[in-house]
Each structure stands twice: as structure tokens, then as C-alpha cells.
Structure 1
Amino acid sequence: MLKPQRSKGKLRVASLMEAAASAIAEKGFEAATMAEIAARAGAQIGSLYRFFPNKEVLADALIQRYGERIDEAVGKIEDQVASFSVNDLADKLVDLLVELHGESKAITALLEARSEWSVKRTEFRKAALRRIAQILMLRSPKLQPDKADDIAVVLLHNMKTMKALTHEQGIATSPGAPQELREMNRLYLASKLGKKP
């Protein structure tokens, strides 16, 4: 992948990657074409190929960018964790995947498209669990690492459930369900960190 040096080139690459994420989320990796991605970005096909010589290079760039966005979002929580109440921390964690929904839908489609990319899915999950456990131990230094790992698994599932309740069509839900999950997550985290909700 060609790395742009100028801000105009960086904006073009960002636009191409947004268009790719949108097309892949909507149609899947195999069905999304380079021509369609260029058209969605309002770019010439040659511009797309200049930065991404093929769809696999584009997919790798999307996967890398998603990892960077997760790192950035989790890093913000880590930086402020000491100032959060338990409820605030519970809300920040449960909303994390909701905020990254547009990208995560495309990444899910990518990782399901090719068996060799399933390794990446496992890496993302392990990294997410490690970072959540780290946040918990930063917030509650007396928490045992094994216990933090167990809590992280539950929190990650709650995060995925919140994303499904908020964004996925066809799931059996009601308008109040996300708030109920948020409250459950708060109570659970408070009980595990020994803090009153």
C-alpha cells in the first residue's frame, strides 16, 4: 500500500477506506468490487489502485485501521479510568463496540470471508480481553488477574450484545432493552469491583 504524504492524499485514502468499509459491510468482501468502492468514494478507479493495488491489500489496511481505532478508543478509557465512577466505566465499556459499529460490521464481513483471516479475529478478541482486564486492574488494583480475565469475558459479551440491541435488524428486542443491559452491566461491574453503583 502506498502511504500518502500530503494531507490531500491522506483524506483521499480515508475516503476510499470509508467507501470500502461501507461496501464490504453491505455486500460482503467477495461481492464488493474495486469499481464500486471507487464510485462510492467519488474517486477514479486509478486513484484506488494507486493506493491499494488489489482488494486484499485494501482488506489488510481496513483490518489494521480497525485495530488502531480500537486501541485509540480503549486508550482513552485507560487514560481516564481513575476519574470514572464505576457506572461511567461500565457505560464506556458497554458502548465501545456501539461507537465502532460502522467499522466493526465491515471487519466482521472481512474476517468471515476468508479462513486465513480467522486468525486475525482471534487476535482481536484476545487483545480486547487483555485490554479490558488491564482497565479493570487499573481501576481496581487489588483485583486478581484471573478474576479480571473472567470479568473481561463477561463484559466483552455484554459489549457485543449492546451492539446487537442497538444496531442489528431483526433481533428480538424492545426499545428499553439497551437501557436494561446498561443497568445490568453497571450492577455487575459494581459487584465485581466492590463499589456501590
Structure 2
Amino acid sequence: MRVPSISSNSIRVAPQQERSARRLAAFLEAAEALFAEHGFEAATMQAIADRSASSIGALYNYFPDKQAIAVTLLRKYSEELRSRIRALMDRAETLSTRDFAVEFIDCIIQFARDYPAWLNLLTAPVRFRRDAAARRALRLYLAQAFERKNPALSSERAMLVANVSVQIAKGMMAVYTDSEPKMREAVIAEFRSVLAAYLEQVLAERS
């Protein structure tokens, strides 16, 4: 069955005053907590308003629906994840390929633990339209790090390797989510090994 794609405007009106900014932050904090605790489908606009100690009318002044709230949160998560990945990429040349793979996997896992709503939104039965430029930027950071580690890689090959690495991380998150808590460390260990083996082969290539 095809997963429906959700395209929704995010914030209706950008806050102009400090009070409005605080209210917006309260709505996002409440939604984030509910998405983390109950998932996207179970959370409702009324529950978000109640959690933020505000009225449903005030919430609708900022967001047309909960999809818009999810998109706003995903943008925030995307910026934070890119920042963490870029910090790792800046150290890529100082790390062995295996250590790099381990740290990349661990970076993703730690992010999921820091922002549990992120994982629930990624695995929701709807697909939110996200910023294509932001997704490309993340892959570009990876590709550039791979080129620095192996100058023999062409830009096209490095971008392909970046895409494959991201897909490995996505696969890990899917298995991680479906696994019992007692098995999750084993899942992480397996995917560390998978990514390390793949990158050790690719980054040893010579033209």
C-alpha cells in the first residue's frame, strides 16, 4: 500500500512579539512531548492545546493542523542533526574508517534518544514533505568527507556512497524501532559492522 504524502503549510503567522514567541515554543514543546509519548497518529490538536495550557483557538492561530506542527519540528530536527553530522565530518580525516562508521551510527542513535519524537515522526504512516535542499546538504557533507578520506573517489562516486550510507542508517532505525529494547544494542552493533565493512571497502578503492 502506498504511504500517503502530507504537504502542509507550517506556521500560519510568524510570532512578532516575545509573548507570541513563547506561546509558539509552548505549542511545539507540547506537541513534541505528545508525539514522543503517543506517536503522531494518536496526538490531537486538542491534546496539544491542553498540554500547553492554551486554547484550541490559539493553537489554530499558529498551525492549521498537526501535520504542520510535525513539519515544523522536523525542520528543527533536520537543522540539529546536520549540525551534529557536520561536526563529525570535520573530524573524519582524523578517524579510522571503522571509527568513523561507529561514530556516525552512534551519532544517529544518540540523536534519536535525545529527540524521541523525531523517530516517531519518521516512522509515522504518513510521509511528510521535507526540505530537499536540507537532505542534499546532509549527503553532501558525507560525500565531501569521503572524498577527503579517499581522493581517488570521484564526486559522483562519493555522493553515491553518501546516499548508501544514509540508507544504511535509515535501515538501522527501522530495525531498531521494531526490535525489543533488550535487542537494540545488538542491532546497533550489527549496523556498525555493516557500515564499517562497506566503507572500508569503498575508501580503499583506487582509480
TM over 0.5: yes
- Structure 1 residues 174 and 138, CA, compared in 2 at 3 Å: closer, same or farther? same
Give aligned-pair identity as a percent.
22
Secondary structure at the residue paired with 2:81? helix
Matches within 5 A, 1:1-197: 1-3=13-15, 13-24=24-35, 26-28=38-40, 31-41=42-52, 43-45=53-55, 49=59, 52-55=62-65, 56-101=67-112, 102-108=116-122, 113=126, 117-118=128-129, 120=130, 125-169=135-179, 176-194=186-204
Provide the C-alpha distance between the structure 2 equivalents of 1:174 and 1:63, rounded to a whole number of angstroms: 24
Gaps of 5+ in 1: none
Aligned partner of 2:9 in structure 1 is none
The answer to whether the 8 Å contact 2:143/2:155 transfers is: yes
* TM-score (norm: length of structure 2): 0.68
CA offsets 1:147-190 (integer angstroms, 9 cap, x no match): 2122223211221232233333469x675342122123222212
- Structure 1 residues 113 and 186, CA, compared in 2 at 3 Å: closer, same or farther? closer
CA offsets 1:4-40 (integer angstroms, 9 cap, x no match): 765x9767644532431343453435x5222211333
- Root-mean-square deviation (Å): 3.6
- Structure 1 residues 5 and 177, CA, compared in 2 at 3 Å: closer, same or farther? same
Gaps of 5+ in 2: 1-12
Q: Which amino acid aligns with 2:204?
A: G
Provide the C-alpha distance between the structure 2 equivalents of 1:175 and 1:63, rounded to a whole number of angstroms: 25
